[in-house]
Amino acid sequence: MATPPTAATFLKCLRDEGVTVIEVDGWRTRNRNHKGPWGPVHGVMIHHTVTRGTANTVKIVRDGYSSLPGPLCHGMIAKDGRVHLVGYGRANHAGLGDPDVLRAVINEKTPPTDNEVTVDGNRHFYGFECENLGDGDDPWPDAQIEAIVRVTAALCRHHGWSARSALRHLDWQPGKVDPRGPGMNWGDILNRVTKRLGGNSTPTPKPPLPAPSKPAVDLSKLVAAAKSDPAKTGTPATYSGTKTVEAALVNAGLLAKKYSDGHYGTTTVAAYARWQRSLGYTGPDADGIPGKTSLTRLGDLHGFTVVA
């Protein structure tokens, strides 16, 4: 199992690889560890920020948003190639993702297409956000690409990993597109990381990941949630399993991701009704209130079990 190094060792790894590091005040102890464990770590995840301007971007990834508190990564790779360290420990960068992708990273294989959101990525990955508008047109300067290569190589070197321990956010979570844009050639980045590591394409073996248990959704609690029509903001007032079902509806293309918030309100009811109609239900049988058969079908496709 790969244990994260100390913050001092992490910093040394980056500098030893030739990374130009900017230490943002308080980065060594800024984290989300009170929300869950960090580690074992299995890879390095690269993102783009959808922001403009280095100072503005550093502030955002350090502090986060009202709906997503910072830090949003461990380091922000600016356009000029400098890496601004903003946090160390658990960070809000990866979210839930695909267990098959995690197993592929652990075994240093090409990741499969991501189609599930059941595994905590914030626990298992280093996260680096890269200053880029994310519109597919904003270019990636050579200095920024080189910094991505060196950051990835530094951590792979420390843990004895190959370049296949690096992945993009788009590899991890359905619906994500980052990183993208002119100059972002992921295959070339992996090849350059491999070259920096000595050209050894044989990965260091890692212990296999146990098959993850599927989350369970209690039908009776979910039905109560669906009938409660909670407030649109604030702490979900109903049942935590709502988030699991909403993630499945997002994956099925029936619910916009911004509504996957744990509130089983009218938008989620409408999305679930669309799911019921896709199964052939009509009239009152497609009212957006889950039934055992429709919920079980949704769980079979999207990775959860149903408790009646």
Each of the 308 residues of the chain gets a pLDDT tens digit; together they read 489 999 999 999 999 999 999 999 999 999 999 999 999 999 999 999 999 999 999 999 999 988 899 999 999 999 999 999 999 999 999 999 999 999 999 989 999 988 888 899 999 999 999 999 999 999 999 999 999 999 999 999 999 999 999 999 999 998 899 999 999 999 999 999 999 999 754 444 455 445 455 778 999 988 988 888 665 555 544 577 887 888 788 767 788 867 777 788 889 999 999 999 999 999 999 999 999 999 999 988 877 899 98
Asked whether residue 101 is assigned to any structural domain, the reply reads yes
Asked whether residue 202 is assigned to any structural domain, the reply reads no
Give 240's Cβ-side CA count (13 Å radius): 2
Contact 88, 10 (CB under 8 A): yes
Q: Where does a domain end: 144, 165, 196?
A: 196
Q: Are residues 108 and 54 in the same domain?
A: yes
Asked whether residue 206 is assigned to any structural domain, the reply reads no
Asked whether residue 105 is assigned to any structural domain, the reply reads yes
Q: Where are the beta strands (DSSP E) in 24-150?
A: 43-48, 75-77, 83-85, 96-97, 119-120, 125-130
pLDDT of residue 199: 72
pLDDT of residue 230: 65
| Residue 18: domain span | 7-196
Q: Are residues 90 and 223 in the same domain?
A: no
Q: Are residues 42 and 99 in the same domain?
A: yes
Q: How far apart are CA 301 and CA 154, in angstroms?
A: 38
Asked whether residue 161 is assigned to any structural domain, the reply reads yes
Using a cut of 0.75, tell me whether the model's pTM lies above it: no
Contact 279, 266 (CB under 8 A): no
CA distances from 292 to 215, 273, 296, 305, 308 (A): 16, 14, 6, 11, 7
CA distances from 186 to 33, 45, 46, 145, 262 (A): 30, 12, 10, 10, 34
Q: Are residues 192 and 221 in the same domain?
A: no
pLDDT of residue 247: 78
Q: How far apart are CA 99 and CA 51, in angstroms?
A: 29
pLDDT of residue 134: 93
Asked whether residue 288 is assigned to any structural domain, the reply reads yes
CATH number at residue 89: 3.40.80.10
pLDDT of residue 251: 65
Asked whether residue 205 is assigned to any structural domain, the reply reads no
Asked whether residue 210 is assigned to any structural domain, the reply reads no
Number of domains comprising the chain: 2
Q: Where are the beta strands (DSSP E) in 49-102?
A: 75-77, 83-85, 96-97
